[in-house]
Structure 1
Amino acid sequence: MSEVSETLKNKVYFAARDGCAVLLCAILSEKTPEEVHELLNQQVIEEDGQKCTPLIVAARHGHDRLVKMLLSKCQPDIEQEGTVKFDGYVIEGASALWCAAGAGHLNVVKTLVKSGANVNHPTRTNSTPLRAACFDGRLDIVKYLTEHNADIHIANKYNNTCLMIAAYKGHLDVVSFLLEKGANPDEKAHCGATALHFAAECGHVAIVKELLDYGALITTNENGMSPLIAAAERTRADVVEYLITRPEVSHQEKIDALELLGASFANDKDNYCLQRAYYYLHRTMEMRYSNPNDIVLKELCKPVPAYENWVECQTLEELEAIQNNQNALHMESLAIRERILGTHNPEVPHPVIFRGAVFADNARFDRCIELWLHALHLRQLNNVSVVKDLLRFAQVFSQMIHVGVELTFLHVENVLNACVIELERNKEKMVNPGPKDDVEQIMEEFESNITTVLYILVIITKLMKTCTKKEEFRVNSLVYRLNKLNVATREGKTLLHLCVDAETPVDDFHTNDVCKFPCATTAKLLIQCGADVNAMDCNRNTPLHVIVSYQKPISDFLTLHAIIMDLTEAGAHMDTVNNHGETPFQAATSGVAEIILRTQTKLSLKCMAAKAVKSFNLTYQGHVPQSLESFIELHGPAVKQG
């Protein structure tokens, strides 16, 4: 559209958003039917990323009069989709009806339905207007939509039903209505959870009772957790107390649930309470010995070093002896959680991380790292993303270096190994995504992990000055394995590009106290372990192109000199050409970088021949060995061969 019509389009959109029906009517009355159609069916992108038509934004804000005017006089596409934000979630593919239902505007919902809007129009994630109303707990809208043929059985892409979301959000009246209309309480989401699981883990006792009254079965999810265990793990004491009164719950299940409830109170970030923890642990121990003829002993697991090799209490006397020992209760509880839930349960690591963070806050970095390494091991054991865990290690390691606390080499080496494993898995998932994998999210995590592993490399180079030959060999092997992955960002920047770039982002929570770029020692490590010194980013810049533009050639001369020397000595070509047609010499932004480059100028006959091929646009693909094609490509912009 022209600049004038772009302004007009915005004027129409914001008039609709703000409910200015008279103004909008006046604007549109002066336009031809074709112009009106164009103005009403084009999306406008707002600053926060929302992308809507005038009808969608009017419905979203509840402007019923304006919606009626648009529908009666202008006939906009009632099913056109937009991108909106609700409760922090970005919803793609939302219709005007979905927005009205999700925002709780009953009158607009009625107007749209009467005008023929599809009551089951789904979003990209297969969320219907009915589901949006269930999420918000609007029973009036739920009733109206179902009366007009909305399907209560349509689930979203995770097979999460309207009943499940209503149970999760705690809307008892909506749950009761859906059950009356025939919603299946035993339907399972892809994670194996039923509506009963969602209600139990969120602490909605009344909904748990309602679901059971309608015959809901007590089943387990994909992690083997029943609603009772899920409630105990989330410290939902009221739900646990109710469920253990149910006849279908065995004595052993009651013990496990109450013991898990106590153990969870001891290490829960949001509901930490050591008094309640001890109460439930003591109560459970009494239950174990309640029948002298049938004492229920714990089946203890192998002690975990991260839990100080703690062995769980087996008697009331042993438990009472640690009543006033906070650390003992914490370790007892972590051991209990891992025994009951199992090492393959993804819920196990959360409290371990919380307990480690408490140790870090009290400068007990040794204990913090032991616990976090165990949590990291558990997550990678179950193929769960560890993107936040890895960054957390970079932060705490940097904090320790900054305050002068000695780092254990093996700890950093273990995290570096975990980084390599995670990057390998990221690459595999991007190539072969599973049914639950979001490729865009995996790419974001992949890029975050690339930056984090660079931080870890910087940190480990500071320790390698005093490490043993064996330790150095192990790290070099890991870095070689890392280089073989050829990881790069969306912009094509490799680890070596990032390492020599002053613009590389550095996390500002302790990490920026230690990790500075460009970093000569880290670049040297990467180069020595096989990094491609001639790798090109999306702008065809090599690491040499990047470092010669460093803006501190005098104050940080040693870094500039060391990196240029290491790159050129490892075979970096000084006649490679980027997308601007510049060699590193031409891209240099300081005389200092130029001087250093001049001292290293060694133009081979092979390079000159490659440059001639590119300069005269000679056909070479298919006429030279394949190994030479990539070499020739280095020496000039890509040209289509024919």
Structure 2
Amino acid sequence: MTRSYDIILSLIDETDDDLLTLEILLLKFCSNEEESNLCFNHLYKYKNHQQCTILMIAILQNRLNLIQMLLTKFRKSIDLEFRGSIKYKTHYRCGVTALSAAVCVGNLQIIKLLIENGADIQTRNNYNETPVYLATDLCKFDIVKYLIEEIHVDIHRITNENNTCLNIAGIHGHLKLIKYLLETTDININHQNRNGDTSLHLAIEKNHINAVKLLLSYQKIRIDIENNQKMTPLESAAVCLQEVIVNYILNLENLIQIQDKISILELLGASFLCRYTNISDYNKTYEYLNQAMRLRISNGIIKISNQPISAYKNHMECLTIDELESIRYQDEVLHLEALVIYDRLLLLKNGLELLYCIENQALICMENSEFDRSIDLCIHGLELSIINDDINRNIQNIGERMFHICLLMKRISEIYLIIFSFKCFENLMTRFFEIFYLTIHQFQQLYQKVIEAQYSTGAFSSTEYSFVKNVLPLIYIITKVKLKQNEQIQFYELIQWINQFCKHTSSFSETLIHFCCSEASSFCPDIIQLLLHYDFHINIFDCRGNTPLHYLFQVTSDGKLTVVENIFNLFLNTNRLHPDYIDRNGKTPLDQAKYSQLV
């Protein structure tokens, strides 16, 4: 029967002149119900790794005559809701039916034919995308219009991302679709997707100025809705440097209040120097900060002096036009002015943009050997990492903050590894435990919120791995720092928590010693020696029965042989090592050894 399928598929790839031959073969091969089901309701490998039925292949080839023949002669045998996978734009869509495939091809005649033959108009793929949603995403206006007006599909269905058709039309900035959806359906113009974005947020993010103008022309539009980043559409526009959109909205009569206009102008100006991009425009920053200052003064709105922040060299915000004018051509001071304003305006928001800005500034300072300030920036970023952490509102935000802490951990370890040989940085060495404690404590706080929310930590697996990988250099640095007695007690508590974190979040319940043996970096012998000092078990099993020695002996890099030998000697010197322990596959560490020297 396999060869028969090959013949059928080869004929499908031919022209419509061979339809009669194909029909005769299909009738011959499908002489009973079982054979018919195997033929028509089976997924074949098609071009570009697609998995399709015979009908779906015909649809992807836009073969209307072939489709008509299949549905006329073999409709009873064909399951129109049988699901395959097709290439959709640059990605693959799984759980796709024939109707969804026809929408992706964009052939309205085929769509009508399938619906006439009973195709489910509300079918959803694995992403919960309906045919009308796919048509909107592909900007197929005629198909959207047909499905809504003649088939009366449910326009309110949402995808896994909680997007509606209007949301996706906003992303594409498709004016005709946006206008049609708003004027012929009761679709909610202010609907928020999973990220809290409305259609206006999405149109702004993609810089579709005409779509923004169109959306704002509708009376029901709200510009005060905050997304999961706690940003309104206008604030998002300012941070994303959508200058034309910002100016257009600010100039709309009676739409934005004076205080909000001032904040938006300040945010836009600061963003030209602070956003995590390669864009730095000092002239634009001055221009918009100057506009904001003049608007403030003309309306009698007094600017309150900020509290000095060491990460920003204790810079105080300009309170007058003269003060701002005096720093216009001082790039470093103007940059500090922008940072302080950026901090003030985004601090009360979600602030992820602020956190990444701070991390980027820390990197720049480190590269310029400004180690003290780089550390100050890292500390400031850590302090801000748990502000406004409403877990119920945005669990994804928590994961991003945890990842942000991992970035700062990496930056801190890089700085301290550089300055080890510089005795003039003694003040930074004495501060290290304070920084280490803050880093772990902030991560603990966020992780605890994930646990309390009973949210699957699997979604954060890359963040959890990043934490373990980046905490190892920090523990190594601890081995080079003399701790006070109270710090030793605190460190012991932290290291125990880190060990439990490793066990609970790793794939195979590995402990910290397992990770050190697996990593086998130059830091690991000193870390393991410290862990042994705290009586960590060296024969502990993971869930597969592997001891740390199993992990150590599986290291294959020749460049790590010396490290492996050093760790092995540390284990031997404890007089507690059991190299004869077997895992669940009956293997001892020696059975898995990659180096004959170790055996």
TM class, shorter-length: 0.7 to 0.9
Q: Which residue of 1 aligns with 2:333?
A: 328
Q: Which residue of 2 aligns with 1:603?
A: none
Match of 2:247 among 241, 250, 261: 241
Q: Which residue of 1 aligns with 2:512?
A: 495
Say if 1:416 and 1:456, in contact at 8 Å, map to a contact too. no
1:365-407 Cα shifts (integer Å, max 9, x gaps): 5544543443344334333424543554465467657867769
Q: CA deviation at 1:163?
A: 0.9
1:547 and 2:552 aligned: yes
Q: Which residue of 2 aligns with 1:349?
A: 355
> Cα gap change, 1:84/1:334 in structure 2, threshold over 3 Å: closer, same or farther?
farther
1:154 and 2:161 aligned: no
Q: CA deviation at 1:140?
A: 2.1
Q: CA deviation at 1:153?
A: 1.9
> Cα gap change, 1:315/1:225 in structure 2, threshold over 3 Å: closer, same or farther?
same
Say if 1:393 and 1:415, in contact at 8 Å, map to a contact too. no
Paired AA for residue 375 in structure 1: G
What pairs with 1:53-64 in structure 2 (closer than 5 Å)? 53-56=53-56, 59=59, 62=62, 64=64
Q: Which residue of 1 aligns with 2:233?
A: 227
1:44-63 Cα shifts (integer Å, max 9, x gaps): 67898865545446545655
Say if 2:231 and 2:349, in contact at 8 Å, map to a contact too. no
> Cα gap change, 1:153/1:466 in structure 2, threshold over 3 Å: closer, same or farther?
closer
Distance 1:65 1:414 in 2: 71
Q: Which residue of 2 aligns with 1:454?
A: 469
1:200 and 2:204 aligned: yes
Q: Which residue of 1 aligns with 2:287?
A: 279
> Cα gap change, 1:192/1:388 in structure 2, threshold over 3 Å: closer, same or farther?
closer
Q: CA deviation at 1:172?
A: 1.1
Distance 1:520 1:467 in 2: 18
Paired AA for residue 288 in structure 1: R
Q: Which residue of 2 aligns with 1:143?
A: 145
Say if 2:103 and 2:131, in contact at 8 Å, map to a contact too. yes
Distance 1:284 1:109 in 2: 55
> Cα gap change, 1:225/1:82 in structure 2, threshold over 3 Å: closer, same or farther?
same
Distance 1:13 1:527 in 2: 65
Q: Which residue of 2 aligns with 1:31?
A: 29
Q: Which residue of 1 aligns with 2:297?
A: 289
Distance 1:311 1:9 in 2: 77
Distance 2:11 2:488 in 1: 66
Paired AA for residue 263 in structure 2: D
Paired AA for residue 263 in structure 1: A
> Cα gap change, 1:578/1:332 in structure 2, threshold over 3 Å: closer, same or farther?
same
Query: Gaps (5+ residues) in structure 2?
Result: 390-397
Q: Which residue of 1 aligns with 2:392?
A: none
Q: Which residue of 2 aligns with 1:618?
A: none
Paired AA for residue 327 in structure 1: E
Distance 1:362 1:531 in 2: 40
Q: Tell me, what secondary structure is at the counterpart of 1:126?
A: coil
Q: Which residue of 2 aligns with 1:252?
A: 259
Q: CA deviation at 1:280?
A: 0.9
Distance 2:246 2:559 in 1: 67
Q: Tell me, what secondary structure is at the counterpart of 2:385?
A: helix
Distance 1:57 1:370 in 2: 60
Distance 1:453 1:566 in 2: 22
Paired AA for residue 165 in structure 2: C
Q: Tell me, what secondary structure is at the counterpart of 2:317?
A: coil
Say if 1:500 and 1:517, in contact at 8 Å, map to a contact too. no
Distance 2:88 2:499 in 1: 42
> Cα gap change, 1:591/1:277 in structure 2, threshold over 3 Å: closer, same or farther?
closer
Distance 2:113 2:401 in 1: 47
Does 263-272 or 405-414 show the bigger shift? 405-414
1:244-291 Cα shifts (integer Å, max 9, x gaps): 22313211121111121111122231654322221111111111122x
Q: Which residue of 1 aligns with 2:173?
A: 170
Match of 2:270 among 238, 263, 271: 263
Higher helix share: 2
> Cα gap change, 1:120/1:232 in structure 2, threshold over 3 Å: closer, same or farther?
same
Q: Which residue of 2 aligns with 1:483?
A: 499
Distance 1:493 1:46 in 2: 42
> Cα gap change, 1:276/1:556 in structure 2, threshold over 3 Å: closer, same or farther?
same
> Cα gap change, 1:155/1:559 in structure 2, threshold over 3 Å: closer, same or farther?
closer
Distance 1:213 1:324 in 2: 41
Distance 1:427 1:105 in 2: 52
Match of 1:101 among 100, 103, 113: 103
Paired AA for residue 499 in structure 2: N
Q: Which residue of 2 aligns with 1:640?
A: none
Q: Which residue of 1 aligns with 2:538?
A: 533
Does 36-45 or 295-304 show the bigger shift? 36-45
Does 537-546 or 444-453 show the bigger shift? 444-453
Q: Tell me, what secondary structure is at the counterpart of 1:465?
A: coil
Distance 1:288 1:234 in 2: 23
Distance 2:262 2:362 in 1: 27
Paired AA for residue 495 in structure 1: L
Q: Which residue of 1 aligns with 2:120?
A: 118
Q: Tell me, what secondary structure is at the counterpart of 1:93?
A: strand
Say if 1:119 and 1:149, in contact at 8 Å, map to a contact too. no
Q: Which residue of 2 aligns with 1:635?
A: none
Q: Which residue of 1 aligns with 2:135?
A: 133
Paired AA for residue 202 in structure 1: K
Q: Which residue of 2 aligns with 1:633?
A: none
Q: Which residue of 2 aligns with 1:309?
A: 314
Q: CA deviation at 1:311?
A: 1.7
Q: CA deviation at 1:550?
A: 4.8
Paired AA for residue 163 in structure 1: L
Paired AA for residue 234 in structure 1: C
Distance 1:162 1:54 in 2: 30
Paired AA for residue 130 in structure 2: T
Query: Gaps (5+ residues) in structure 1?
Result: 505-514, 595-642
Q: Which residue of 1 aligns with 2:80?
A: 78
Say if 1:497 and 1:543, in contact at 8 Å, map to a contact too. yes
Q: Which residue of 2 aligns with 1:604?
A: none
Does 67-76 or 154-163 show the bigger shift? 67-76
> Cα gap change, 1:403/1:71 in structure 2, threshold over 3 Å: closer, same or farther?
farther
Q: Tell me, what secondary structure is at the counterpart of 1:487?
A: helix
Q: CA deviation at 1:545?
A: 2.3
Say if 2:237 and 2:245, in contact at 8 Å, map to a contact too. yes
Distance 1:303 1:56 in 2: 65
Paired AA for residue 500 in structure 2: K
Say if 1:134 and 1:166, in contact at 8 Å, map to a contact too. yes
Alignment length, in residue pairs?
A: 568
Paired AA for residue 490 in structure 1: S
Paired AA for residue 270 in structure 2: A
Say if 1:527 and 1:570, in contact at 8 Å, map to a contact too. no
1:181 and 2:181 aligned: no
1:580 and 2:585 aligned: yes
1:340 and 2:356 aligned: no
Match of 1:445 among 460, 473, 477: 460
Distance 1:176 1:90 in 2: 30
Q: CA deviation at 1:457?
A: 1.3
1:539-561 Cα shifts (integer Å, max 9, x gaps): 32211223245558998357425
Distance 1:520 1:559 in 2: 8
> Cα gap change, 1:336/1:88 in structure 2, threshold over 3 Å: closer, same or farther?
farther
